[in-house]
DNA sequence: AATGAATGAGCATTCATTCAT
DNA sequence: TATGAATGAATGCTCATTCAT
């Protein structure tokens, strides 16, 4: 009987079916380990995650985990890399190379919310982990987040560039500002989505677009808001 | 000589002046402990924070920490409570009770960004900690975040209610949606502010308002954006 | 009942009386820990030594060991330093500052054998450990051995300098050669002593002096041995 | 590609040329494994040696190592046996069966130093390993050392027997005493040789003989040294 | 004959928490 | 009130050894 059953699960430890699976080729096993790590890191946070649990969930022993990914840090970084890749890919493929910036942003955001709804763990690992655990992790997380933001900036900047006739307040680094705001909003809306399970990604995007894009369009057209004095 | 000096500081351990302080009244000492805890939790994250360092930073011995706050979890919860209180208060006082919803939102957000700029640790502890460390912490963090969002919802909802004539897409729980988005955006903009140290809180608010409020106003007026098909 | 009793002693684990001793002042406890470490390192070798056993033998828990000496390596280095100090002191006090080099060497060697007979562990730790475990250990062991050899070299060199009229083969770095040889011989003779428990240190010294000093004296006087051809 | 390449070499791991070798006769392969083991044990010490590295260095997989030598302990014992054999043989062949005891001792010691200079690993494995790792190893090491000492004792005892007319202090087990001392000296001089790379084995022997043999000869002739009182 | 894949068991180190004073 | 001294319980990581092919 596998070690999983013998261990006292702490709280509601993630478990899996107890199928004896052995002798997998390296590449397959490696992906499975990353799958497991992703879930555990997402559930517990980096520090609270325990390598033992990752091994259990992957259905192998701890030494295998270390043989494949080298260290807890290595596990985490592998997760970040793979999931960033996945998210960016989903984003890009959806945004495509169309002509209408609004359309592309809408498609990209929809893909984003769809991805997060389908792979909550990925997002949680990428954006809900304190980057203070180590130099390497900080660097990796920063890079990952930057690369996600870059996708948005690409779309936004594009839209702004095209539409920016006499825009006043939307200027130089505004695309970056907006990207920060949009990604932050999107992050937070992943929580909102959990509270509204029925809502499809398109709905979330529609709301967010209405909340922001309409305004940005108007602003670009010169209708600037200023605090009343 | 205090234990602080004998221990090898790990990396750049937060330190304080080595003044001998004794016999403080309970309430004062307790606040000092929470001050220390806040800094350490913000710097390291909940799990990585070490009670020893908190005690050192507070200038007292570990047993005192336990005497006052009971446990590491107790420390953390005390931090959350106090800082939520502070943030909400700052928000409320700024938003005031004026008549113009936009003005109130603007004032509230400005206070928010001003507060975060001045008390980064508070915000980091409230919004950058994984809530999965324990039941109690999850509950406390959820409550704290809800209560921050409630402030925003109050302003937004107010504004929406007053202006919402024939709004189509802004309906029942839209205020909550917008609050999520705004708080998330604000959180993320917290990072943006670190990259642009010169920008005053008012500037950040102005940009964010232009990005969202203008649009929301239009939407309320019936100008809805829909994805091109 | 203490943890000592609960643990399954592997082979013949060194144990001690199970007296509950608590709250010792730091300096005393530290010496006791070094005592325990010395025994365990001597018995098992650096790698095979287990910190748990050291803690058990010192009658405390493992965290105390780490609080006091920092790491297994720290424990080992502390042992080396203290015991080198002791051995060198014993050597020096015995050799004194007399006039007769032979007498001083004899006294020093006698002290040496006496010390080793009485503190086998010290010697074993200083001279029977592979210095390849870490940079720090290699350095420390090298220094320790050098400093022991230096004592001998001091005496030998002294004797040689005084008596060296027309010495042919005993010249420049001969003192170092002889020191190596003598210390090596002495090391090996500590084993011989274990096989001959009755023999007093003076006896061992007498034999060794007869084996070497007489010859060196003659050599200094010009009577050189050369291989027959 | 072999596993050697994928593993990160820890510090300066001993490596070898990456030639693919297969289907060697049992006896050859076994010797190659012992060669590899010898180097690794010498470099790291018994405990710190890792079977993986031995397999890598031997250019085969770990299971083969176990198939041939059974266990880490088995590897070590095989090393001890083979190298003892080699050293003793070198010693014997050099000492020959001549008539002059001094000459034979000189030749034996010269062979010894030559052997050690040429096969440092062998000596290190035989004389620089703590014998406390296991019963079997302790026994094997003791036997090996005894058998090396026996060679010396043979020569010494022979010399003493022949020359010992009215020797006073050289008596019953003196040969064993001298053998201990000589082998210990020789061991330590092994280090000295590393510090003086130019010195040929003959030179070392000459110095050692002058240091000891001349004296022993005199002592045998009755000129005994005694401590001044 | 040979090996890639796998693991049980151990070990150094850390940390929240509590006594004894 | 205040603390120096102490520890139980993890947790990351390693290594000798063995299957399944």
Q: Contact at 8 Å (CB) between B209 and A225?
A: yes
Distance A72 CA to E9 C1' (A): 20
Question: What pLDDT is stored for residue A115 in this prediction?
Answer: 92
A188 closest CB neighbour out of B103, B187, B210: B187
Indicate the pLDDT class of residue D192, thresholds 50, 70 and 90: very high
Angle at which helices A62-69 and A26-44 cross, to 10°: 100
- C28 is near strand F: CB distance < 7 Å: no
D215 closest CB neighbour out of C47, C196, C211: C211
What does the alpha-carbon distance between residue B148 and residue B179 come to, in Å, rounded to a whole number?
Answer: 9
Stronger pLDDT, A80 or C158, i.e. the higher one? A80
Burial of D223 (0-12, 13-18, 19+ CB in 10 A): middle
Give residue-wise pLDDT tens across range C39-49: 999 999 999 99
What does the alpha-carbon distance between residue D31 and residue D29 come to, in Å, rounded to a whole number?
Answer: 5
What does the alpha-carbon distance between residue D138 and residue B47 come to, in Å, rounded to a whole number?
Answer: 47
Give residue-wise pLDDT tens across range B14-51: 544 444 556 778 889 999 999 999 999 999 999 999 99
What does the alpha-carbon distance between residue B193 and residue B170 come to, in Å, rounded to a whole number?
Answer: 30
Question: What pLDDT is stored for residue D160 in this prediction?
Answer: 58
> Which residues of chain A form CATH 1.10.10.60?
13-70
Over range B66-93, report the average pLDDT. Answer: 95
To the nearest whole Å, the CA of B191 is away from the closest chain A CA by 8
3-state SS record for B57-92: HHCCCHHHHHHHHCCHHHHHHHHHHHHHHHHHHHHH
Inter-CA distances, C1 with C4, C65, C86, Å: 8, 20, 35
Question: What pLDDT is stored for residue C39 in this prediction?
Answer: 97
* Assigned fold of B14-70: Arc Repressor Mutant, subunit A (1.10.10)
- A62 is near strand E: CB distance < 7 Å: yes
Stronger pLDDT, B59 or C169, i.e. the higher one? B59
| Residue B134, pLDDT above cutoff 50 | yes
What does the alpha-carbon distance between residue A108 and residue A90 come to, in Å, rounded to a whole number?
Answer: 8
Point out the nucleotide closest to C66 (alpha carbon to C1′).
E13
Indicate the pLDDT class of residue C90, thresholds 50, 70 and 90: very high
Over range C202-227, report the average pLDDT. Answer: 82
- Can you read off the two tokens belonging to residue D189? 């001089």
Give residue-wise pLDDT tens across range D101-152: 788 888 889 999 999 889 999 999 999 898 889 999 999 999 999 999 998 8
* CA A181 to chain CA centroid, nearest Å: 15
Indicate the pLDDT class of residue A162, thresholds 50, 70 and 90: low
Indicate the pLDDT class of residue B159, thresholds 50, 70 and 90: low
How many contacts does A have with B, using Cβ atoms within 8 A?
172
Q: Which of residues 95-114 of A touch strand E (CB under 7 A)?
A: none
Look over chain D and give the mean of its residue pLDDT values, rounded to a whole number. Answer: 83
* Assigned fold of C11-70: Arc Repressor Mutant, subunit A (1.10.10)
How many DSSP H helices and E strands does chain B contain?
A: 10, 0
Q: Which residue is nearest to nucleotide E4 (CA to C1')?
A: A23
Question: What pLDDT is stored for residue C153 in this prediction?
Answer: 87
Q: Tell me if residue B15 falls in helix, strand or coil.
A: coil
Residues in CB range of D139: below 8 A, 6 or more apart: none
Selection from C153-157, C200-204, D164-168 with the highest mean pLDDT:
C200-204
To the nearest whole Å, the CA of C28 is away from the closest chain D CA by 30
What does the alpha-carbon distance between residue B114 and residue B116 come to, in Å, rounded to a whole number?
Answer: 6
Phi and psi angles of residue B154, each rounded to the nearest 5 degrees, phi first = -55, -50
Do the chains contact at B184 and A185, CB–CB below 8 Å?
yes
Percent of chain D scored above 70 by pLDDT? 82
What does the alpha-carbon distance between residue A123 and residue A144 come to, in Å, rounded to a whole number?
Answer: 11
**Which residue on chain C is closest to D127 by alpha carbon?**
C128
B228 closest CB neighbour out of A103, A133, A216: A103
What does the alpha-carbon distance between residue B136 and residue B37 come to, in Å, rounded to a whole number?
Answer: 17
Question: What pLDDT is stored for residue C5 in this prediction?
Answer: 35
- Can you read off the two tokens belonging to residue A64? 């295998």
Distance D44 CA to F18 C1' (A): 25
Question: What pLDDT is stored for residue A160 in this prediction?
Answer: 58
Phi and psi angles of residue A166, each rounded to the nearest 5 degrees, phi first = -105, 35
Q: Which of residues 32-91 of B touch strand F (CB under 7 A)?
A: 60-64, 67
| Residue A45, pLDDT above cutoff 50 | yes
B178 vs A contacts (CB less than 8 Å) = 211
- Can you read off the two tokens belonging to residue C42? 């001597």
Q: Which residues of C171-195 are buried (b: 16+ CB within 10 A; e: fewer)?
A: eeebbbbbbbbbbbbbbbbbebbee
Question: What pLDDT is stored for residue C119 in this prediction?
Answer: 93
Task: Give the torsion through C-alpha atoms of A178, A180, A182, A188, to 10 deg.
Answer: -150
What does the alpha-carbon distance between residue B83 and residue C178 come to, in Å, rounded to a whole number?
Answer: 74
Question: What pLDDT is stored for residue A222 in this prediction?
Answer: 73
| Residue A6, pLDDT above cutoff 90 | no
Q: Which residue is nearest to nucleotide F3 (CA to C1')?
A: B61
DSSP assignment, residue B158? Answer: H
Burial of A95 (0-12, 13-18, 19+ CB in 10 A): buried
Residues in CB range of D100: below 8 A, 6 or more apart: C228
Over range B67-88, report the average pLDDT. Answer: 96
* Assigned fold of A79-220: Tetracycline Repressor; domain 2 (1.10.357)
Burial of A147 (0-12, 13-18, 19+ CB in 10 A): middle
Inter-CA distances, C89 with C112, C144, C185, Å: 10, 13, 20
How many residues can be counted in chain B?
229
Burial of D150 (0-12, 13-18, 19+ CB in 10 A): middle
D191 vs C contacts (CB less than 8 Å) = 180
- The superfamily in CATH containing domain A13-70 is Homeodomain-like (1.10.10.60)
To the nearest whole Å, the CA of B37 is away from the closest chain A CA by 16
- D63 is near strand F: CB distance < 7 Å: yes
Residues in CB range of C125: below 8 A, 6 or more apart: C38, C41, C42, C76, C79, C80, C83
Q: Tell me if residue D20 falls in helix, strand or coil.
A: coil
| Residue C166, pLDDT above cutoff 70 | no
Nucleotides of E under 7 A from a protein CB: 1-21
D46 vs C contacts (CB less than 8 Å) = 45, 47
Q: Which of residues 3-22 of B touch strand E (CB under 7 A)?
A: none
- C22 is near strand E: CB distance < 7 Å: yes
Look over chain A and give the mean of its residue pLDDT values, rounded to a whole number. Answer: 82
- A23 is near strand F: CB distance < 7 Å: yes
Do the chains contact at B43 and A132, CB–CB below 8 Å?
yes
Do the chains contact at A169 and B212, CB–CB below 8 Å?
no
- D3 is near strand E: CB distance < 7 Å: yes
Identify the CA nearest to D78 among candidates D67, D65, D86, D69: D69
A188 vs B contacts (CB less than 8 Å) = 180-181, 183-185, 187
Q: Contact at 8 Å (CB) between B170 and B221?
A: no
Question: What pLDDT is stored for residue B5 in this prediction?
Answer: 31
Match domain B80-220 to its CATH number in 3.40.50.300, 1.10.10.10, 1.10.486.10, 1.10.357.10.
1.10.357.10
**Would you list the DSSP string of C172-227?**
TTHHHHHHHHHHHHHHHHHHHHHH-TT--HHHHHHHHHHHHHHHHHHHHTT-----
What does the alpha-carbon distance between residue D175 and residue D161 come to, in Å, rounded to a whole number?
Answer: 9
| Residue C15, pLDDT above cutoff 60 | no
Give residue-wise pLDDT tens across range C116-142: 989 999 999 999 998 889 999 999 999
D169 closest CB neighbour out of C180, C210, C219: C210
Question: What pLDDT is stored for residue B20 in this prediction?
Answer: 52
| Residue A164, pLDDT above cutoff 50 | no
Q: Verify B-A touch: 3 or more CB pairs within 8 A.
A: yes
Question: What pLDDT is stored for residue A214 in this prediction?
Answer: 76
- B24 is near strand F: CB distance < 7 Å: yes
Over range B71-99, report the average pLDDT. Answer: 91
Question: What pLDDT is stored for residue B66 in this prediction?
Answer: 97
What does the alpha-carbon distance between residue A76 and residue A36 come to, in Å, rounded to a whole number?
Answer: 11
**Structure-token match 């490696």, residue found:** A30
Over range B157-164, report the average pLDDT. Answer: 55
How many residues can be counted in chain C?
229
Give residue-wise pLDDT tens across range C50-71: 999 999 999 999 999 999 999 9
What does the alpha-carbon distance between residue D172 and residue D177 come to, in Å, rounded to a whole number?
Answer: 10
Do the chains contact at B169 and A102, CB–CB below 8 Å?
no
Mean pLDDT lowest among A195-209, B42-56, C33-47, D153-167: D153-167
Indicate the pLDDT class of residue C161, thresholds 50, 70 and 90: low
Indicate the pLDDT class of residue B171, thresholds 50, 70 and 90: low
Indicate the pLDDT class of residue B224, thresholds 50, 70 and 90: confident
Q: Tell me if residue A34 falls in helix, strand or coil.
A: helix
Probe site for chain C from D129, D188, D219, D228 (most C CB atoms < 10 A): D188
To the nearest whole Å, the CA of D30 is away from the closest chain C CA by 27
Q: What is the largest CA-CA distance in chain B?
A: 74
Q: Which residue is nearest to nucleotide F2 (CA to C1')?
A: B64
> Which residues of chain B form CATH 1.10.357.10?
80-220
Q: Contact at 8 Å (CB) between B211 and A216?
A: yes
Stronger pLDDT, A69 or C156, i.e. the higher one? A69
Indicate the pLDDT class of residue B139, thresholds 50, 70 and 90: very high
Indicate the pLDDT class of residue D53, thresholds 50, 70 and 90: very high
To the nearest whole Å, the CA of C51 is away from the closest chain D CA by 15
Over range C170-177, report the average pLDDT. Answer: 70
What does the alpha-carbon distance between residue D118 and residue D120 come to, in Å, rounded to a whole number?
Answer: 6
Question: What pLDDT is stored for residue B212 in this prediction?
Answer: 86
Do the chains contact at C227 and D211, CB–CB below 8 Å?
no
> Which residues of chain A form CATH 1.10.357.10?
79-220
Indicate the pLDDT class of residue A168, thresholds 50, 70 and 90: very low
Q: Contact at 8 Å (CB) between D155 and D105?
A: yes
Point out the nucleotide closest to A8 (alpha carbon to C1′).
F10
Distance C105 CA to F14 C1' (A): 48
- D62 is near strand E: CB distance < 7 Å: yes
């Amino acid at each position: 009987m596998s070690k999983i059953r013998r261990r006292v699960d702490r709280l509601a430890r993630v478990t899996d079916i107890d199928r004896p699976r052995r002798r997998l080729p390296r590449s397959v096993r490696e992906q499975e380990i990353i799958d497991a790590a992703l879930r555990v890191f997402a559930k517990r946070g980096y520090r609270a995650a325990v390598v033992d649990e990752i091994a259990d969930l992957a259905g192998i022993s701890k030494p295998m985990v270390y043989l494949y990914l080298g260290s807890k840090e290595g596990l985490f970084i592998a997760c970040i890399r793979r999931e960033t890749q996945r998210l960016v890919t989903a984003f890009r493929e959806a945004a495509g190379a169309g002509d209408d910036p609004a359309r592309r942003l809408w498609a990209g955001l929809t893909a984003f919310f769809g991805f997060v709804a389908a792979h909550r763990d990925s997002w949680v690992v990428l954006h809900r982990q304190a980057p203070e655990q180590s130099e390497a992790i900080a660097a990796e997380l920063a890079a990952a987040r930057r690369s996600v933001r870059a996708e948005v900036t690409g779309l936004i900047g594009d839209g702004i560039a095209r539409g920016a006739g006499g825009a006043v307040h939307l200027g130089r680094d505004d695309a970056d500002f907006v990207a920060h705001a949009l990604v932050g909003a999107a992050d937070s809306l992943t929580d909102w989505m959990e509270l509204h399970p029925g809502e499809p990604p398109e709905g979330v995007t529609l709301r967010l677009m209405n909340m922001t894009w309409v305004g940005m369009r108007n602003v670009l057209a010169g209708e600037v808001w200023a605090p009343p004095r």
